[in-house]
Structure 1
Amino acid sequence: MNRIVKSVKGFGSGVKNNIPLKAVILLFLIAILWLGVYLTTYSEDVNKGLSENLIRLHVVANSDGDVDQALKRDVRDVIINYMQQQLKDSKDIENTKNVISRDMEKIEELAKEEIFRQGKAYEVKADMGIHPFPTKMYGDITLPAGNYQALRVVIGKGEGANWWCVLFPPLCFVDATHGTISDSVKADLKNILTAEEYDIVTSADSEDDIPIKVRFKIVEFFQDSRIKISNLLGRIF
């Protein structure tokens, strides 16, 4: 045992004598930088895959007032009821995007009609683009924070709390209140996502799969940080 201890001490002394402290620190910093680049790249790749294969719905209220929030939910219901009929036969993301683009004016018109019916005169702006989203759970499916393709409907000033769902695959049209998503919707997800992406969104809260949870948290952390920095820069400039 003493011989081993002496050998370890001798090796430590050799490292101290042969490798300058600055070199050790430099190697450590390079390793940290490489790890940061790797994790960021991994996060971006996962978010890119999810964004390219999902279309989300984003409804933004005029304000956080109770009346405006209730109005947002009613507008949401009108849009979902309409889109459910228009997208019932759509099994392809490109076709779904074409339907949304085709019906953009109709979506605005329906939203305005509901707003007018409730005695308000808010303007409505709908567009299809890439928008930031926080981490969101839909039953037992969880999407990490990131930038996603989305139909965004802004009511009035658009200064109120948001509401989100997924138009493709059609998570908007299923009941996720009981904590589960139907097997048919999961099958659609499995067909359009990579195996790893599917594991991440369906196993993020599984205590039995720690590696999946770690990967989910990596994507969530880097994408959420990116969104917060973008929002901060937007307010400054």
Structure 2
Amino acid sequence: MSKVLARIREIGIFHRKNVLIKTAVSVVIISLLASGIVFATYSDDVNKSLADNLIRLHVVANSDSEEDQALKRDVRDIILEYMKDKLKDSKDIEQTKYIINESMPEIEKLAVQEIQRQGKDYKVEVMLGSYPFPTKLYGDIALPAGYYEALRVVIGKGEGANWWCVLFPPLCFVDATHGTVPESVKEELKNVLTEEEYSMVISADADDDIPVKIKFKIVEFFQDSRIKVSGLFDRIIRSIL
């Protein structure tokens, strides 16, 4: 009888331990899911705010051949020279969008003229829309991966490596090759972003600011994952069609 009672107690203890383990695992899973939702929401909010306050330029080459890549850079330079003059007095994103929309026919014309001057007959597509971008450094400013509004110029088949910068605020028109962006441009960036967002993009590479680096990595991870999943779905749909 005592053996039976002892066995019952063992079973009861095992059952309670099993319940406790399952409960603990469930709590951990739920906590991780909740944290993931919070981080994903935070990432989307930051990306949306950045996308609502920045306009990028995206030039896509016909192919990765040396000739086509050189042509892309020449077209880029012509567009930058033209837009630098057009946007020199623009002070807000809505005015910049208006100027870009008004300028698209001329941008296409200038791009086609340069392409034809170099003996090519590639078509050119000029669009203003929302497009995926990887993480990008501009001197000491870093923008996390995500979807951003951009003036997109596609040369020919658009199958080559692309080039991008920021039209508003005007990071396209400064020399960031020496590792810094002028204070005047940073001030413009500061005026269109929240304090947290500005701190994130200006300090993402600062080793002594761990909280900012973590926030940047959260946005980068979730937005990069979103871009990859979206790209996978696009490929699946194209293969079906």
Instruction: Please classify the TM superposition score into its range, dividing by the shorter chain length.
Output: over 0.9
Corresponding residue for residue 34 of structure 2 = 34
Partners of 1:121 and 1:59 in 2: CA distance: 17
Corresponding residue for residue 7 of structure 2 = none
| Unmatched 5+ stretches in structure 2 | 1-12
Partners of 1:196 and 1:203 in 2: CA distance: 10
Matched to 2:200, the amino acid is: I
Structure 2 residue 109 is matched with structure 1 residue 109: yes
RMSD: 1.5
Displacement of 1:21: 2.5
1:54-203 equivalence runs, <5 A: 54-203=54-203
Displacement of 1:20: 3.2
Partners of 2:168 and 2:43 in 1: CA distance: 22
Partners of 2:175 and 2:30 in 1: CA distance: 48
Which runs of at least 4 in structure 1 moved beyond 3 Å after TM superposition?
16-20
Partners of 2:84 and 2:17 in 1: CA distance: 72
Any idea what the Cα deviations from partners look like across 1:52-75, whole Å, max 9, x if unmatched? Answer: 000000000000000000000000
Matched to 2:101, the amino acid is: S
Any idea what the Cα deviations from partners look like across 1:98-132, whole Å, max 9, x if unmatched? Answer: 00001111110000000001000000000000000
Partners of 2:20 and 2:88 in 1: CA distance: 67
Report the secondary structure of 2:38's partner residue: helix
Aligned length: 225
Partners of 2:49 and 2:114 in 1: CA distance: 35
Matched to 1:46, the amino acid is: V
Q: Percent identity?
A: 65
Q: Which has the larger radius of gyration?
A: 2
Partners of 2:196 and 2:19 in 1: CA distance: 41
Displacement of 1:161: 0.2
| Unmatched 5+ stretches in structure 1 | 1-12
Report the secondary structure of 1:39's partner residue: helix
Corresponding residue for residue 211 of structure 1 = 211
Matched to 1:77, the amino acid is: D
Report the secondary structure of 1:175's partner residue: coil
Partners of 2:110 and 2:146 in 1: CA distance: 29
Partners of 2:104 and 2:18 in 1: CA distance: 69
